[in-house]
Structure 1
Amino acid sequence: MTPEEAAVPEVSMWAGGYTSDSGGSGIGITGLTVDAVTGEPAVVGTAVETPSPSFLLARGDVVYAVGEAADRVEAFRRGPGGSLRWAGGQPSGGSGPCHLHVVDDLLLTSHYGDGTVAVHPLADDGTIGEAVQLLGAEGSGPRPQQDGPHAHSALHVGDGIVLTADLGTDTVHVHVLRGGRLERVAAVALPAGTGPRHLALLDSGRVLLVGELDGTLHALEGEGTTWRVAASTPCAAEADARDSAAEVRVSADGRLAYVGLRGSDRIAVVGIGADGGLAPVAAFDCGGAMPRHHVLAGDRLHVANQASGTVTTFRLDPATGLPTAAPAVLAVPSPTYLLPVA
């Protein structure tokens, strides 16, 4: 390592976001460093230039990104200091890729635009093969955003069972992985207008589902391919008609779920009871505009605020899980996803 390389801070988080092809101000994936003492991030620089990497996923030394406007999935190999080098990519298979999930040696890509879920095989070195499956859906919902299927996320819950959330049809589809492909075997119907967005697996085996369009959080429970809604709650005790719910993340102790609410620009905190019940605890200002994504890291909550072009960092009280002070604010171009370096 040269003295110049040693002087560059090690990247500890990557930020994906929108570039000019999607109306954003970024140029690719931004490298951030997080101070070990204060927990506050700083910009290191551009890790790699790539169009609209709005969702990121890491597996080993490879970072995967959607190219949302270009209908692409890309692979980047990690280099010194957290730099990234392009390692190939493929057409995503559908329109408007918005979410990635890896199960064994398969990359699952959810497409908001046409509601499809694509399956790409991954080679031993992490490179992406051509899509081997494109699974569509039918249906719609009562809201303007629900003119047709809009696949928004996928989650492997164990034993080869994969759930996918479809915002457009108010459905969580249940699949079995067989022979490197998804076989759709069942579905969970959500209340009309829910807008299923993202999923989070709890230690109990239950799965949290955030409703983007109605600001709700649901707990799903299942055995094998049979799943149902076991509990539901508004994300915030005081609803705001402007809200569009985004990411859901769970505290390390499993007591709290954090949900971003775009519109009112809040982070809602939902309690998860020992019996699996859900109840709103608090909601606080995100410190920016349009909290698209957030991550928990120790006693810090980092929030990617897309519209304000900022990442805000909160110190959380370990007892309450709520902020102890105003956040630190860092300028990051059009951030939509934060990925800590493992």
Structure 2
Amino acid sequence: MAELAYIGGYTPDTGGSGVGITVVELGSLARLGATPASGPSFLAAHPRLPILYAVGEGERGTVGVFARAGRGAPVPLAQRPSGGSFPCHLAVDPSGTLLAVANYGDGTVTVHRIDGSGLLTCEVRTFPYRAGAHAHQAVFGPDGVLYVADLGADEIRRYLVEGQVAPHPEGPVRLAPGMGPRHMARSGDHWYVTGESDGTVRVYDDGWREVRAVATTSGAAARGNRPSHLEVSDGLVYVANRGPDTISVLSPLTLDPIAEVACGGVWPRHFAVADGRMYVANQRSGGVAVLELKDGIPRPGAEVFAVDTPTCVLPLS
């Protein structure tokens, strides 16, 4: 059961008004503390150690390492260059030995080595890409491959990370032109990907053959929709819709619409599902909305935890 949530967001030097990383008690929504940091727009946790990692989303991108201090604010331990500009996502591999960073600004992807204490010891390799590339998310797959959603190139880039760190010999996966892949999630033998540019969510089989594509919202709202985060939880597919400011609930594989509900704020950048609730980081309305889930469907009338310019919610036990 998750007990705490760490909330990242933009700070004044990165175009926002937040203070850095805020920690909140999930049951009571009590604010437990905050740690100043520059533009920690995405957070990740080490799988075994009480360590957090945060991007510093700026022209000279950084990665910050923080110790989880019990129920208090995280303690800064170290900071190093991300290997590119405007990093917006990072992920730790299941073994806790590698950290991958997606640098949106220049499209590079950087893999860093993690030592036994959770600190970053060296950069393993930086993968540059052609002009117009915008790496937006990095995900370690169960097959020893690092998958990177490239919003600018309409591709899922692939890198080998077991035994060596190198581009995949089969190259990237080409997706639908104009899709703008932003976030992806794996469930069973399938991948689900949101298209920020075309307002879709698509499902692919294990060989990356498209199974189905649907718009995540309908009507007039679909024209201005910019889907952001996606998760598959308890047999349902959830997608956040920026513009319509809703959460869509879809069935797996067929992507049939089940429900679409208000997200409890404006511009839902990210969300997390934990302990029967959905926590939505509404970037432009200054709060994280707490939506109760009933039979997997978010309920309206959300309680809101006030925090400036939130962009990421990370629940942890």
- Fold equivalence (TM over 0.5): yes
Matched, 1:214 2:203: no
Contact kept, 8 Å, 2:32 with 2:71, in 1: the verdict is no
TM-score computed with the length of structure 1 as normaliser: 0.86
In the alignment, is residue 163 of structure 1 matched against residue 138 of structure 2? no
2:70 match: 80
1:334 corresponds to which of 302, 309, 313? 309
- The answer to whether the 8 A contact 2:280-2:290 is kept is yes
Cα distance in 2 for partners of 1:180, 1:64 equals 23
- Which deviates more, 291-300 or 77-86? 77-86
Runs of 4+ in 1 over 4 A off after TM superposition: none
The within-5 A match list for 1:175-324 is 175-185=159-169, 186-202=171-187, 204-222=188-206, 226-238=207-219, 239-251=221-233, 253-254=234-235, 256-272=236-252, 276-318=253-295, 321-324=296-299
Q: Percent identity?
A: 39
Distance 2:223 2:43 in 1: 29
The residue that corresponds to 2:133 in the other structure is 149
Letter in 2 for 1:233: V
Shift of 1:178: 4.4
Structure 2 unmatched ranges of 5 or more: none
Q: Report the CA distance shift for 1:188/1:29 in structure 2 as closer, same or farther (over 3 A).
A: same
1:240 aligns to what SS in structure 2?
helix
Q: Distance in 2 between matches of 1:87 and 1:15?
A: 18
RMSD: 1.7
Q: 1:68 to 1:324 in 2, by over 3 A?
A: closer
Alignment of 1:104-119 (within 5 A): 104=95, 105-119=97-111
Deviations 1:148-201 (A, max 9, x none): 000111212213122111000101122222444132332221111100111111
Report the Cα distance in structure 1 between the residues aligned to 2:149 and 2:314, rounded to whole angstroms.
Answer: 21
User: For residues 305 and 111 of structure 1, what CA distance do their matches in structure 2 show?
Assistant: 22
1:189-240 CA-partner distances (Å, limit 9, x unpaired): 11111001111110x1211111111111111222xxx432222221124352
1:132 aligns with 2:124: yes
Give the match for residue 68 of structure 1. 57
Structure 1 residue 11, shift from structure 2 partner: 6.5
For normalisation by structure 2, the TM-score amounts to 0.92
Aligned to 1:4: none
CA–CA distance in 2 between the matches of 1:327 and 1:182? 45
Aligned-partner Cα distance in 1 for 2:166–2:199:
29
Aligned length, in residue pairs: 309
Q: Please, which runs of 5 or more residues in structure 1 have no aligned partner?
A: 1-9, 140-147
Q: Give the 3-state SS of the residue equivalent to 1:278 in structure 2.
A: coil
Aligned to 1:50: 37
